[in-house]
Chains A and B, each alone.
Chain A
């Protein structure tokens, strides 16, 4: 079982619609959860972090965490062409180290 799994893509959404991305993780000791955005040929850019169950909103982005189900998601509202990128889910433990386990990513394509 992979540490972090993201459902396969790519995900095509019309401009202005909501893009929904999901991620599951296997380590129940995980405490920190992140979403990174990576444009083609660029490095990952941190866009959201979440540590507690529930929702966290930042602008057009909402991260949702459910530790009991070992599930984290990202919603992108009012999707824009500039949101077209690969979104990486990353999971880490709080204690002792900064190692992150990454999913393979979901490609999002926003269609104007």
Chain B
């Protein structure tokens, strides 16, 4: 059974640009969550999608957005990139909306903003 797939694995962007990251969840999983991981802040929740609807959002500026498609694949977008957006962006896949379900992470996208 294939795991969570994130693309691309690495990105280098310039300040002010925008970026789109992609996540394909485990087959049959309908919930996709996004997290940002930095050495200083650790893992921080960005947002969660289930059945193409954003169910929950973390405390991030509006430059961070996302969406989910009918096949459960998800994308997140960051506009007007800042140096502080450099981080590992992780996507987590869960079977259903929180009934004690476990989250499984993809390999992440390492974003560097220069």
Smallest CB separation, A23 vs chain B (Å): 13
Smallest CB separation, B39 vs chain A (Å): 9
Output the nearest chain B residue to A4 by Cβ-Cβ distance.
B42
Q: Contact mask B90-114 → A, CB, 8 Å, 1/0?
A: 1010100111111111111000000
**Cβ-neighbour of A88 out of B43, B45, B97, B106 (below 8 A):** B43
Q: How far is the CA of A61 from the CA of B91 in the complex (A)?
A: 25
Count residues of A near B (Cβ-Cβ below 8 Å).
27
> What size tier do the contact residues of chain B reach?
20 to 34
Q: Contact mask A77-112 → B, CB, 8 Å, 1/0?
A: 000000000001010111111111111110000000
19 A-B pairs in the complex with CB atoms less than 8 angstroms apart:
A32-B98, A36-B105, A43-B90, A43-B106, A43-B108, A44-B90, A44-B105, A46-B105, A90-B43, A94-B98, A94-B100, A97-B97, A98-B98, A98-B101, A98-B103, A99-B56, A100-B43, A102-B35, A104-B42
Residues of B within 8 A of A (CB): 31, 33, 35, 42-45, 48, 50, 55-56, 58, 88, 90, 92, 94, 97-108
